[in-house]
Amino acid sequence: MDTLAQPTGMQLQDGSYRIQGIDVLDLCREFGTPLYVYDGDTIRRKYEEMTAAFAGLNCKIKYPAKALSNLSILKLFRSLGAGLDTVSIQEARLGLKAGFAPEDIIFTPNCVSFEEIQAAVELGLTINIDNISILEQFGHAYGDSVPCCIRFNPHIFAGGNAKIQVGHIDSKFGISVYQRRHVHRIVEANKIRVIGLHVHTGSDILDATVYLQSANILFDLAEEFDNLHFIDFGSGFKVSYKEGDHATDIAEIGAQLRTAYTDFCQRYGKEVELWFEPGKYMVSEAGYFFMRANVIKPTPSTVFVGVDSGLNHFIRPMMYGSFHRITNVANPGGTKRIYSIVGYICETDTFAADRKLSEVREGDTLCLHNAGAYGYSMSSNYNSRLRPAEVLVYQGKAHLVRRRETMEDLLRGQIEVSFEA
């Protein structure tokens, strides 16, 4: 059975929207808009849900830095006991700065140079290799002196939005399961010490059967490798984006996986660690993105709300067609009207079309929900716009964890050339 997602941390109390008792309009007045706000207590709750779902298993959670890479968020996950999943050498260095031990960081890049792999080896990370060419180069360079993990593509389409699926046959991620014999030849010829296997099918997995199908493929592959220390199942758990939406029932997945894992360990002859990388699941609903309504613009067919943000700050609706609930937090009791919410970028940057909101007035503050994952981390300076501030609310206190950018930030790194005669 799928389960409805838990309520988000922002609640309407006495006519005002609050996060851990703090009025969100006070946060916007203090730190300005646009503004990212993260509910640290929600992050902790989601982490505890994950660990409870897989209780009794030899399980480790590796938080994917790419979802939300703010240094304070990384430190929060480290304090909760998580490890770290990184996809670039820069993310890895951020993780080290946040206090993660090198052995707690898995490095899973895609299509990078071998020089970046070597840099990760020098940092002492767990290297996850996802293509034949790098595996060969790794074997030539290190033989059995440096262990590694191998990422396989299981050729499973998890369903849902095709733009966020990475385990199908046309994906650039992972080594095809049909190339397993080639992999073994390279491993055996170079005496590569394989200590882990990894698969990741993509996002929005709702059906436990699909997840277990991927798990069984990985268990089958694992029996071909001696002395594995861990098996990494990635993530892909679906979160709730709108009223009545459903999220993945991770407790059901945990219960079914427990049986499959026990059977595998009996066949394999020892217990191996199970790793999971839930990024969106743990930070999506913890994040809120606040925007100010600059203009109300009626046209013959549509009433637009133009806000002080755009695809430069939050690109998911434009890039993936993703749905994000929007609330007028400045006028909770207003008459419901239909609007399209658009940005100030010189592109078609529509956050939401034909949405029913409490009446929006110029100057009102709107909140875009589920903004914790792939929001700020995918932002840009397009149109030479500045990135917003980030605030973490934790245990009833608001902490500024990234200041708003300035013109000096925009110019930093640029070298001015004079063209005067």
Residue 324 · residue 368 · CB < 8 Å: yes
Structure tokens at 150: 């191998």
The mean pLDDT of the chain is 91
Question: Quick one: pLDDT at residue 213?
Answer: 81
Q: Which of 28, 265, 346, 367 is catalytic?
A: 346
Question: Quick one: pLDDT at residue 204?
Answer: 60
Question: Quick one: pLDDT at residue 289?
Answer: 98
Residue 64 · residue 85 · CB < 8 Å: yes
CA gap 239, 271 in Å, rounded: 30
Question: Quick one: pLDDT at residue 1?
Answer: 30
Coil, helix or strand for 33?
coil
**CA nearest 233: which of 251, 263, 210, 265?**
210
411 Cβ contact partners less than 8 Å away, ≥ 6 residues apart: none
pTM for this prediction: 0.91
Residue 214 · residue 156 · CB < 8 Å: yes
CA gap 148, 232 in Å, rounded: 12
Question: Quick one: pLDDT at residue 248?
Answer: 77
Residue 366 · residue 294 · CB < 8 Å: no
CA gap 351, 349 in Å, rounded: 6
Question: Quick one: pLDDT at residue 208?
Answer: 64
CA gap 111, 134 in Å, rounded: 9
Q: Give per-residue pLDDT as tens, 43-77.
A: 999 999 999 988 888 999 999 999 999 999 999 99
CA gap 57, 236 in Å, rounded: 19
CA gap 124, 301 in Å, rounded: 59
Q: Dihedrals φ, ψ of 411, to 5°?
A: -85, -15
Q: Is 346 a catalytic residue?
A: yes
Question: Quick one: pLDDT at residue 205?
Answer: 59
Report which secondary-structure segment, H or E, holds 292: strand 287-298
Q: Which CATH number fits domain 41-280: 3.90.550.10, 3.30.479.10, 3.20.20.10, 3.40.50.300?
A: 3.20.20.10
- DSSP labels for 186-252? HHHHHT--EEEEE---BS-B--HHHHHHHHHHHHHHHTTSSS--EEE----B----STT-EE--HHH
CA gap 371, 387 in Å, rounded: 15
CA gap 206, 246 in Å, rounded: 8
Coil, helix or strand for 377?
helix
- DSSP labels for 302-362? -EEEEES--TTT--HHHHH-----EEETT-TTSPEEEEEEE-SSSS--EEEEEEEEE---T
Domain spanning 3-38+284-411: which CATH class is it, in words? mainly beta
- DSSP labels for 71-87? HHHHHHHHHHT-EEEES
Report which secondary-structure segment, H or E, holds 44: helix 40-53
Q: Dihedrals φ, ψ of 63, to 5°?
A: -70, 125
Question: Quick one: pLDDT at residue 162?
Answer: 46
Q: Which residue has the tokens 């890479």?
A: 69
Residue 258 · residue 57 · CB < 8 Å: yes
- With vertex at residue 388, the alpha carbon angle to CA 384 and CA 394, rounded to the nearest 5 degrees, is 165
Structure tokens at 329: 């937090």
Average pLDDT for runs of 10 along the chain of length 421: 51 95 98 98 95 90 97 98 98 98 97 97 97 97 97 73 49 89 97 94 63 85 95 83 74 85 93 93 96 97 98 96 96 97 97 97 98 97 98 97 98 93 70
Report which secondary-structure segment, H or E, holds 89: helix 89-97
Total residue length of the chain: 421
The amino acid at 333: G
**CA nearest 306: which of 357, 363, 358?**
363
Domains of the chain, by residue range, sit at: 3-38+284-411, 41-280
